[in-house]
Amino acid sequence: MAITPRFVLLLALGVVPIVALGGDSLADAATVLGVWLAFVLVLAALDLVLAASPRLLSAERVVPARLRLGESAEVQLFLGNRGTRALRGVVRDAWQPSAGADTNRQRITLPAGERRRVSTRLTPTRRGERRVEQITIRSLGPLGLAARQATLEAPGRLRVLPPFHSRKHLPSRLARLRELDGRTAVMLRGQGTEFDSLREYVRGDDVRSIDWRATARRSSPSLAPSLMVRTWRPERDRRVVIVIDSGRTSAARIADEPRLDTAFESALLLAALASHAGDRVDLLAYDRLVRGRVQGASGPELLSRMVDAMAGIEPELIEMDWTAVPSLVRGVTSRHALVVLLTSIEAPGAASGLLAVLPELSKRHTVVVASVTDPALQQAASARGSRNEIYWAAAAEQALLDVERVSAAIRQSGAEVVTAAPAALPPALADRYIALKAAGRL
Amino acid sequence: MIDTAARPAAAPALDPARDPALDPALAPAVTPTLRASGRKAAFWLAAAAGALVVAVIALLLNGAAIAGGPALGRANPAPVGAKAVAEVLAAQGVDVVTADSLDAALAATAAAAGRATLLVYDENALLDSEQIARLQDAAAHTVVVDPGFALLQGLAPEIGFGGVSAADQAIEAGASCSSAAGERAGSVAALPGAGLKTLRIPADAAGYAGCFTDGAGASVLVQGGGQDARLSFLADPAILANESITAAGNAALALGLLGEAPTLVWYLPTLADVAAGAPPSMAELSPGWVTPVMVLLVLTGVAAAVAYGRRFGPLVLERLPVTVRASETMEGRSRLYARSSARLRAVDALRLAAIGRIAGRLGLARTASLDEVVAAASAATGLPLHAVRSVLVDEQPQNDSAMLALSDRLAGLEGAVIRGTTPPTSTPPTERMDP
């Protein structure tokens, strides 16, 4: 039950009859007051009785299953009036706040036995699963003085995927990849390539790539002698294993983006690139439990499965357990692979777990450790105007030196290091991948 | 945002109103119905009703014991009341008339046509001097209990207050007592542990006689005044009160004083005596509708609070992720440096970083020693070796301004190294590539 502002206004209007009819006598005025109160209450009660029941409703939702963060979608709620009276009132569709509903209260008129659509525009502000559990209906009476109110169950959910802003870097990196491919045309032989096929020599081919044995086999008395050359192409069907650290340190916000989200962006760009290059990509998000896993997917399915797995992952406030990572990687592939660890490189003390397992990993695989650096540190390090700024700069330089020291230790144990600011990390990691591929280290 | 769309796109185009089988079932309601919430609250409602019934029964059973009223009330059975003596007088045939205003009391005495005793006990000094003057000749015998200053001043200005007699001591009537009732009573006493209030008759006051005079010469009962209308002052209400009426000769004195005439007017002044002459109050001056309008406005305010405060369904829960700012450790460390004025440590951090950058700029290996870096920087900038070494290694700032200056020189050295290693840009720009 609820009363409306109109009820309040009507109650306040009682001043007029009390002053006009009550006159100087307290008893008369009190009588008028009593009569007015009774009148208003009776009207409100009548209104309540005549209001349509807010419980006799059916509710059905049409919600898109997935939505990228930053995009908007229209979600629809179909309300059917199963009662015998027309319902007039307000409906509240109670989406979670970060679903970003443009409005959550809408007027509605539902004739008996009919259905109406209530649509809401959602612009989610956070990735993950956004839910709605209930709707609340306030059914006004014919006079608009009082309303019946009920909350009905009408669950719905919308999966908000990571935005993949870094896909803007994809075309330029794919062009670089094609350049790498393009070397086959000039028959450049070397690291990062593998044998493709044999064909006849045409003018301009590198004489060094003539395969004399194949030429001899091909030569027969009946045919004109022709030289056979080998062709080469970049390595394909390599394994890339991306391990995302979803532990404590991934919660830190750098340039208004959690480390974890930057790691997702980097992983998505790398996966898109690697799957175009013909490599197989597997993804693991891990802290002490596997929070997300994508294995054995390829092509467009890979990216959609990856964003789907990432949507629900939030930073956990526990320490990353590095000791389990080698066996996890072994579980994914027993072959040599490119293992990309998306984590944070900070103080030497915090990195000891990572440093302990790196030799084991880098013995079997090519390992890249990627980490976000804080652009605020660089800024603080260069401002030296006052006493406080010098201390800030000293602390920032100290932090950068720590990062440098840990990076050196990581390189020492045979792994590569990629560090960059949040916006620059995904392309930097992609470039490193292309460089490694060109160098044949996959 | 609302329109009359038929169905979601995926569903078949059928009108659900005409085909209830296809229509989804009613959405289950979360809000309990009135009946359900009533059933839920039934226990508490029943408990509250039970408590109310028990309270009412207890009140009815013990009602007599806690009945109250004014001190010396005619029908007050409490210890300070005077129901005992009034009931005994009534049983003896005295017509006890209760009056709660001066007008009523005077009307009652007038009705008795001079054969009435008037008992006045003005506990809260409500009567003013004009009203006291009207009491003067109201009855054949006026008994004033525990007179206050105004009553004494108005009725017998000569009489003064005599203080309180010694405790636990009955006061004998004494030889000077001319009152028959007093003589019959013999002695009066208060409750154990208390004394009796007394009045004092000055030596030069004529026409007054005191009874029950204590050792200090103050009397409990003072009689006098006029030829026909006798006036008695009973100094202490304890003589008549239920709790002490049975002490010594209290009861005999009370019955003797009050039972003389066939009618006893029992007058205890109330607020009705006061209002008479007061100036008109705010309520009397304002028109009658003011109070109802104020009540209505208060009710409107309450209704507005209810109308706007009613929650539109339950709150929505959402788990939010933690927010950790990454630069917190850096800020904390800088504050620690600042608080302990760790100048050398701060400068060393800046120097280490600068040495690393200079070494990188000069193309030295990561493993290059400090001396190599200093020598290379000196060679690149043309600065003397000891000056470079002082900036990069030796100098220890003693105060903040020295630290600032050192930091500036460090930045200057870094800039000089960069300038020294940048090739001159006098070469013309390269031409465009051929297509």
- Which pLDDT score is estimated for B23? 53
Greatest mean pLDDT among A43-47, B200-204, B206-210, B242-246 lies in A43-47
Q: Rounded CA gap, B42 and A138, in Å? A: 26
* Bridge partners, residue A68, by sequence: A161
Which domains does chain A carry? 57-161 (2.60.40.10), 194-234 (no CATH), 239-438 (3.40.50.410)
Q: Is the pLDDT of residue A192 over 50?
A: yes
Q: Is the pLDDT of residue B252 over 70?
A: yes
A84 touches chain B (CB under 8 A): no
- Which pLDDT score is estimated for A189? 56
| Chain B from 21 to 80: CB within 8 A of any A CB | 23-31, 33
- Which pLDDT score is estimated for B428? 59
Cβ contact B335–A62 (<8 Å) = no
* Bridge partners, residue A91, by sequence: A106, A137
Per-residue model confidence as pLDDT tens digits over A226-279? 888 887 766 678 899 999 999 988 998 888 889 999 999 999 999 999 998 889
A185 touches chain B (CB under 8 A): no
Using only the alpha carbons of chain A, give its radius of gyration. Answer: 34
Arithmetic mean of pLDDT, A58-77: 92
- Which pLDDT score is estimated for A136? 94
Per-residue model confidence as pLDDT tens digits over A89-144? 999 999 999 999 998 899 999 999 899 999 999 999 988 899 999 999 999 999 99
- Which pLDDT score is estimated for B21? 44
Kindly state the DSSP code that residue A14 receives in the 8-state scheme. T
Q: Is the pLDDT of residue B256 over 50?
A: yes
- Which pLDDT score is estimated for B274? 76
Q: Is the pLDDT of residue B16 over 80?
A: no
Q: Is the pLDDT of residue B17 over 60?
A: no
- The answer to whether the predicted template modeling score (pTM) of the entire model surpasses 0.80 is no
B431 touches chain A (CB under 8 A): no
A146 contacts A2 by C-beta, under 8 angstroms: yes
From A114's Cα to the closest Cα of chain B, the distance in A is 6
Q: Is the pLDDT of residue B2 over 60?
A: no
* Bridge partners, residue A2, by sequence: A147
Phi, psi of B264 (to 5 degrees): -120, 120
For B28, the closest of A37, A152, A380 (CB atoms) is A152
The Cβ of residue B35 has, within 10 Å, a number of other Cβ atoms equal to 8
Summary mean pLDDT of chain B: 82
CA distances from B59 to A37, A339, B53, B65, B338 (A): 34, 86, 10, 10, 75
Residue B329 with chain A: CB contacts under 8 Å: 346-347, 399
Q: Rounded CA gap, A164 and B140, in Å? A: 112
Per-residue model confidence as pLDDT tens digits over B353-394? 999 999 988 888 878 888 899 999 999 888 899 999 999 988
Cβ contact A18–B292 (<8 Å) = yes
A218 touches chain B (CB under 8 A): no
Element (H, E) at A7: helix A5-12
Residue B402 with chain A: CB contacts under 8 Å: none
Q: Is the pLDDT of residue A184 over 60?
A: no
Residue A397 with chain B: CB contacts under 8 Å: 349-350, 352-353
Which residue has better confidence, B278 or A247? A247
Cβ contact A117–B4 (<8 Å) = yes
Q: Is the pLDDT of residue B170 over 90?
A: no
Q: Is the pLDDT of residue B12 over 50?
A: no
| Chain A from 234 to 253: CB within 8 A of any B CB | 251-253
A183 touches chain B (CB under 8 A): no
- Of A169-178, A191-200, A223-232, A380-389, least confident by mean pLDDT is A191-200
Burial class, B334, CB count within 10 angstroms (exposed 0-12 / middle 13-18 / buried 19+): buried
pLDDT range class, residue A183, cuts 50, 70, 90: low
Q: Which pairs count as long-range contacts for B341-346, CB under 8 Å and 24+ apart, including other chains?
A: B341/B400, B343/B397, B343/B399, B343/B400, B343/B402, B343/B403, B344/B396, B344/B397, B345/A394, B346/A390, B346/A391, B346/A393, B346/A394, B346/A395, B346/B403
Per-residue model confidence as pLDDT tens digits over B133-162? 888 777 888 888 988 888 888 888 888 888
From B39's Cα to the closest Cα of chain A, the distance in A is 18
The Cβ of residue B44 has, within 10 Å, a number of other Cβ atoms equal to 9
Q: Rounded CA gap, A287 and A325, in Å? A: 9
For B303, the closest of A3, A78, A408 (CB atoms) is A3
> Model ipTM?
0.74
Q: What CATH number was assigned to the domain covering residues B83-272?
A: 3.40.50
For B27, the closest of A57, A118, A315 (CB atoms) is A57
Element (H, E) at A3: strand A2-3
Arithmetic mean of pLDDT, A349-357: 90
Q: Rounded to a whole number, what is the distance in angstroms from the first to the last CA of chain A?
A: 69
Arithmetic mean of pLDDT, A213-233: 77
Helix or strand or coil: residue B210?
strand
pLDDT range class, residue A35, cuts 50, 70, 90: very high
Which residue has better confidence, A63 or B272? A63
pLDDT range class, residue A36, cuts 50, 70, 90: very high
Count of CB pairs separated by less than 8 Å, A with B: 256
Per-residue model confidence as pLDDT tens digits over A302-321? 999 999 999 989 998 899 99
Report residue B405 as tokens: 């200056």
Residue B352 with chain A: CB contacts under 8 Å: 397, 401
A6 contacts A145 by C-beta, under 8 angstroms: yes
Q: Is the pLDDT of residue A197 over 60?
A: yes
From A20's Cα to the closest Cα of chain B, the distance in A is 9
CA distances from A313 to A1, A162, A252, B320 (A): 41, 10, 15, 12
A214 touches chain B (CB under 8 A): no
A114 touches chain B (CB under 8 A): yes
- Which pLDDT score is estimated for B160? 86
Domain boundaries along the sequence of chain B: 83-272, 340-421
CB within 8 A of A61, min separation 6: which ones?
A75, A76, A77, A78, A132, A154, A156
Percent of chain B with pLDDT over 70: 88
A122 contacts A98 by C-beta, under 8 angstroms: no
Element (H, E) at A68: strand A66-68
Q: Rounded to a whole number, what is the distance in angstroms from the first to the last CA of chain B?
A: 57
Q: Is the pLDDT of residue A47 over 50?
A: yes
Arithmetic mean of pLDDT, B8-37: 63
Burial class, B397, CB count within 10 angstroms (exposed 0-12 / middle 13-18 / buried 19+): middle
- Which pLDDT score is estimated for A432? 94
Strand bridging mode A115-122 / B2-3:
antiparallel
- Which pLDDT score is estimated for A426? 95
Summary mean pLDDT of chain A: 89
Residue B350 with chain A: CB contacts under 8 Å: 384, 390, 393-394, 397
Q: Is the pLDDT of residue A437 over 70?
A: yes
pLDDT range class, residue B433, cuts 50, 70, 90: low
Residue B326 with chain A: CB contacts under 8 Å: 252-254, 259, 374, 376
For tokens 């050398």, the residue is B344
pLDDT range class, residue B193, cuts 50, 70, 90: confident
Residue B17 with chain A: CB contacts under 8 Å: 80, 113-115
Per-residue model confidence as pLDDT tens digits over A387-429? 889 999 999 999 999 999 999 999 999 999 999 999 999 999 9
Per-residue model confidence as pLDDT tens digits over B90-108? 998 888 888 888 888 888 8
CB within 8 A of B231, min separation 6: which ones?
B141, B142, B144, B155, B156, B223, B224, B225
